[in-house]
Amino acid sequence: MKLRIFLLLLLGYTAQAQSYQLWYTKPAVKWTDALPLGNGRLGAMVFGGIENDRIQFNESTLWTGEPRAHARSGAAAYLPEIRKLLAEGKQKEAEQLAEAHFMGLKSNEGRKEEWLASVKAGKGVQGNPAEAAYDDSDWKTMPVPAYEGWETVGFEGLDGAVWFRTTFTLPVNWQRKALTLDLNRVRDYDVTYVNGKLVGTTNSTEPRKYQIPADILKPGKNVLAIQVINYFDKGGIAGYKDTTRHLALYPANSSEKLSLNGNWKYFIQNSEAPAVPHYQADYQPFGNLNLTFKNLTNSTDYRRELNLNEAVARTQFKVADVTYTREYLTSQPKGVLAIHLTASQPGRISLTAALSSPHAKYSVRKIDEQTLALAVQVRNGALRGESYLRVETKKGTRRIESNQVVIEGADEVTLYLTAATNFVNYQNVSGNPVAACEQTMQRVTGQTYAQIRQEHLREYQPYYQKFSVELGANTDQKLPTDQRLARFSDAPDPSFMALYMQYGRYLLISSSRPGGQPTNLQGLWNDLLAPPWGSKYTTNINLEMNYWPAEVLNLSAQHEPLFRMMDELAQTGTQTAKLHYNARGWVLHHNTDLWRGTAPINASNHGIWVTGAGWLSQHVWEHFQYTQDLGFLKNRAYPLMKQAALFFTGFLVKDPKTGWLISTPSNSPENGGLVAGPTMDHQIIRTLFRNCIQASERLRTDETFRKTLQTQLQQLAPNQIGRYGQLQEWLEDKDDTTNHHRHVSHLWGVHPGDDISWEKTPDVMKAARQSLLYRGDEGTGWSLAWKINFWARFREGEHALQLVKMLLRPVSGAGGSYVNLFDAHPPFQIDGNFGGSAGMAEMLLQSHSSGIDLLPALPAVLAEGNLRGIRARGGFELDFSWKQGKLTTVTVRSLAGQPCVLQYGSKEVKFTTEKGKAYTFNGKLEKQK
C-alpha cells in the first residue's frame, strides 16, 4: 500500500512538474483562437480581451428538436426489393426506392406556403422596396456577397425574408444595351428587380445569371433590389467561393464588367421563417458573458494561457504599474464557471458585466442586487434554458443598471455563471431550469473563490494526473503555442507532441464527465445556431474516434457518458431494427443526437449504414479488455454486444454469387453509394461476433447463441485482396486507385479493430497498407488522425510522424489545427484532437495483438522520453523510458492479476502477475528485483 501511495504521489509530481500550457501573447480574435474550459456539462470559450472580454458558453443539453419517433413504420416492406435491385447491379434504382420509402422520419414542417405567400405579398414591409424611388434612407448596410452566408458577416441565426438594395451607374457606352446580371449563388430563393421591373427569380442554390432588357435601364443611377428568402442555415447573396470573382453586370460579348460587391442596404422583412423538416437535431450555443472594463488602455506584458494540469485559464497584463490577473475555471463540484479578477493595487477594477445570446428569443432580467438571469428558447424546439450570473466584489461599488452589473473601484471581483435546461432525458423535457440554477447558486453561497478553486482541483486532477508524458525538450517549447504550431512541420519539437497528447486528454476530461452527455462533433463547444453537421454524434467514425484515447491514456471514467448513450440507443435502435429490417436486436445508422435517433438520415446513398451499434459495441468490449471488470462485462457490456450481434444474425443474407453471408443494403461510409457487402461492415460484424463469443465463454452463458455466432462467423464474407494488391473496399474488385477519399473505412480491421494484423493475417495487412498508399496522406483533420493510427499499426513510425506534422500545421483547406489547437476538418471538429492523441500513443505502445508491444513505431525524432500511467489491454498500467531510441526501463502494474506478455523488438517475456503488484524490467526485458 505504501509503495502504491508513493507511486501515485510520484506520478502526481511528474504531471505537475510538466505544467503543460497553451499560451499566447495577444487576445483571441476568432472563436478558434479562444481557450476552452469545460466540466462535462458547461463549456466556455475564453477570449482574454483586455478592455472587452467575451466568454462564450454552452450547456450540453441545449439542442434543437424534441422527443419524437424517428423510425419509419412499414419501411421493412421495401427491404427485399432494395436488396434485389442491388443484387442485380441497379444501384440508382435501389437508392431511389430507399430514398422514397426507407429513410427515417423528419421533424414536422412549418406552414411554409402560407408564410411564403405573406412575405411575397409584402407583409412586414411598408411600400414596395422593388421600386426605384423607394426610400431606404433609414436602412442599415450589410457586406455583399457572403459566400458562407450572412451568418459570417454578423447575422448569426437570421432566417426569413430580407430585402437588399444597391445602386449602379450605367456606363455611357452601355446605354441601349441589354446586360447580364451575374449573382452566382443566392441562398436560397431570390426575387430580383432592376428599377422596379422583375428580371428573374430562382428557388434553389443554382447559379443566377439574369438578362436585363435595355429598355428598363436608364442613363445614370439604376436601382437593383432583391428579396432573398432563406428558411434555414446559410442565407443571403452568396456570390462566388473564389472571392476574386465579383457579382457583376456586363453586356454580351464584353470583357468589361461592373462590380456590384460592397455594402448593400438591407431590411429584415420577416425573421420568423417556418420550421424546416430535419432528420436530426443540432447542438446549440447558449450565450455570451461580455465584460467591458474601464481605464485599461496602453497595456503591456500580455499573456493568455490555459494550464492543463489545473484546467484553469488565465489572462495577465500590465497597465502602467498595475498588474491585472483574470482566472477562469469550470467547477464540476459546484456546477459553475468561475471568473476571478484581481489587480496588484486596490480599487483598480471597474467593469460592466452583461449577458446575451444568439437565440432570437432571449431575455435578461434582474434576480437580486448581485444576480442576473438569461432566459433562452430554442427556435422551433422543445428546449429552453436559464443562465444565472452572480457577481461578488471586495470593496468598491456594485449595482444593476439596465440589466447589466456595473462595478466600480473594486479590489477583487468574482463572477459565477451557471446554466440549465428543461431536458431530463431523451423522452422527457419537464425539467425546471430556474430551480436548477437557483440550487447551483446556493452551493456557491458562503464559499470563497479560493475554496471553489481548490475543490475544482481535487475533482479534476485525479483524472489528469493519472498519466504523464515527456518526449524530449528543445528551445521551441519556450515559444507561444501559435508560433510552435507554425514551426512544427519544419522544426523538430517532440515536446509539442507531448503537449498535444495531454491537450487531447484535457479536452476529453472537460467534455465527457460521468453522468453527462458524450462529447459530440465539437466536444462541448459551439458558437453557431446552425453548426457544421449539426455538431451531432456521427457514428461512422467521428463519435468513436472521440473516445479512442479513453482507455489507453488512462481516462476510463470518461467513457461512461458514451456507455449511457448506448443504453438509450439500444432502446430506440430496437424499434428501428423492427420497423426497417423486421429484425431483433438493435441497429444504429450513421448519426444520432440528443433525442437518440437511430434511423437512416440525410440521403440513401450514404445514410443507410447499418454497423453503428457494432462499432460502438467495440467500446464496451475495449473497456472490459483494459479494466478486466467482469461485473461491467456481465451487466452492461455483454447485453449491449449481444443485442447488436442478434440484429446481424437476422440481417445477414447469403450472396447468390459467392454463397457468403453479406451485409446488404449498406454503405462504405460516404463513398460509393448504396451497396451490398461493404468490407467495413464485415470486419465490424466479424469482430463483434468474436467478442461476443469470448464474452459468453468468459461469463459461461448463452451456449446456443454462441454456436449460432460461430456458425455464421465461418460463413461471413472474408477480407479480399484485389487486382492492384489492395484490400478491397467492396465485395466486388472495383477500387479506384486514384480515389483519395477522406474515409478509409475498409481499413477498420487494422484500426481500431484487430481483424487484420501482421501476426494473424500478414498478407491482408500488406494489402491494407497498399490501399492506404493509394488513398494518400492528405485528408481532413480527423482523416489525418486516423492515418496516424494506421501507420502506427503498420509499425512505420517515420510515416506516422509525417501525418502528425500534417495534423499539427496551421489550418488550411486540407485539415490541420487552429490557433487554439482545435482540430480542423475544416471547419472545427474535435475528433482529430482525440484521434491524434490516440495515434501518438499507438506509436509508443500497442496491445491489440498477442502482447504489450513497446515502442512499435518510434520515429527517430522521439529519441528519448518517458511515459507514466499508460494503459494496456489485459488490465495493465505501465511506466517506461527510453534513450537514444532504445528502451531503458519498464514497470508493469497488474490491475487484475492476468498473465502478461511483454514485447520489445525481437524480445519477449511472459510472466504471471498478482493483482496490485508491480514488475520492473530493464531495456532487455530482464526482470529487476
pLDDT in tens, 772-798: 999 999 999 999 999 999 999 999 999
> Strand 258-259 relative to strand 189-194: parallel, antiparallel, unpaired?
unpaired
Tens of pLDDT, residue by residue over 375-394, are: 999 999 999 999 999 999 99
Beta bridge partners of 292: 52, 352
Say yes or no to pLDDT of 12 above 60.
no
> For the chain, how many structural domains are there in total?
4
Q: CA 667, 672, 677, 679 torsion: positive or negative?
A: negative
Residues 727 and 588 in one domain: yes
Which of 151-160, 504-513, 548-557, 747-756 is least confident?
Answer: 151-160
pLDDT at 807: 97
pLDDT at 492: 85
Residues 308 and 228 in one domain: no
Closest CA to 913 of 927, 894, 892: 894
- Specify if 831 maps to a domain: no
pLDDT at 287: 98
- Specify if 362 maps to a domain: yes
3-state secondary structure of 636: helix
Helix (H) or strand (E) holding 138: none
Residues 446 and 549 in one domain: no
- Specify if 687 maps to a domain: yes
Q: What are phi and psi of 215, to 5 degrees?
A: -75, -10
pLDDT at 486: 96
Please compute the mean of the pLDDT values over residues 434-459 and round it to a whole number.
Answer: 97
- Specify if 397 maps to a domain: yes
- Contact yes or no for 500/821 (Cβ under 8 A): yes
What is the CATH classification number for the domain harbouring 213? 2.60.120.260
Residues 235 and 333 in one domain: no
Beta bridge partners of 340: 327, 414
Q: How far is CA 222 from CA 137, 165, 252, 421, in A?
A: 16, 11, 19, 51
Tens of pLDDT, residue by residue over 168-212, are: 999 999 999 999 999 999 999 999 999 999 999 999 889 999 999
- Specify if 843 maps to a domain: no
Q: Distance between CA 545 and CA 837 in Å, rounded?
A: 10
Tens of pLDDT, residue by residue over 335-348, are: 999 999 999 999 99
Residues 616 and 544 in one domain: yes
252-282 core/surface letters (b: 16 or more CB in 10 A; e: else) = eeeeeebebbeebbbbebbeebbbeebbbbb
- Single residue among 449, 465, 481 that ends a domain in this structure: 465
- Specify if 698 maps to a domain: yes
Residues 170 and 60 in one domain: no
Residues 260 and 295 in one domain: no
Average pLDDT, the chain: 95
* pLDDT interval class at 18 (50, 70, 90): low
Q: What are phi and psi of 460, to 5 degrees?
A: -80, -45
pLDDT at 13: 38
Q: Where are the alpha helices (DSSP H) in 524-678?
A: 542-546, 549-552, 560-581, 612-627, 630-632, 638-651
Residues 258 and 291 in one domain: no
**DSSP strands (E only) in 422-534:** 468-470
- Contact yes or no for 69/597 (Cβ under 8 A): no
Residues 305 and 387 in one domain: yes
Q: Distance between CA 729 and CA 746 in Å, rounded?
A: 5
Domain residues for the domain of 660 are 536-738
Residues 588 and 634 in one domain: yes
- Specify if 510 maps to a domain: no
- Specify if 696 maps to a domain: yes
Q: Distance between CA 217 and CA 583 in Å, rounded?
A: 66
Residue type present at position 382: A
Tens of pLDDT, residue by residue over 227-272, are: 999 999 899 999 999 999 999 999 988 889 999 999 999 999 999 9
What is the CATH classification number for the domain harbouring 609? 1.50.10.10
Please compute the mean of the pLDDT values over residues 455-480 and round it to a whole number.
Answer: 94
* pLDDT interval class at 15 (50, 70, 90): very low
pLDDT at 765: 98
pLDDT at 8: 43
Residues 293 and 238 in one domain: no
- Single residue among 698, 719, 738 that ends a domain in this structure: 738
Q: CA 260, 264, 267, 272 torsion: positive or negative?
A: positive
- Contact yes or no for 70/78 (Cβ under 8 A): no
* C-alpha cell, 603: 440521403
What is the CATH classification number for the domain harbouring 311? 2.70.98.50
- Single residue among 418, 442, 465 that ends a domain in this structure: 465
Residues 458 and 602 in one domain: no
Residue 465 burial (CB count, 10 A): 20
Q: Distance between CA 842 and CA 836 in Å, rounded?
A: 10
* pLDDT interval class at 812 (50, 70, 90): confident
> Strand 312-319 relative to strand 322-331: parallel, antiparallel, unpaired?
antiparallel
* C-alpha cell, 177: 444595351
SS (H, E, C) 666-717: EEECCEEEEECCCHHHHHHHHHHHHHHHHHHHHHCCCHHHHHHHHHHHHHEC
pTM of the model: 0.94
Say yes or no to pLDDT of 546 above 50.
yes
Q: Where are the alpha helices (DSSP H) in 285-331?
A: none
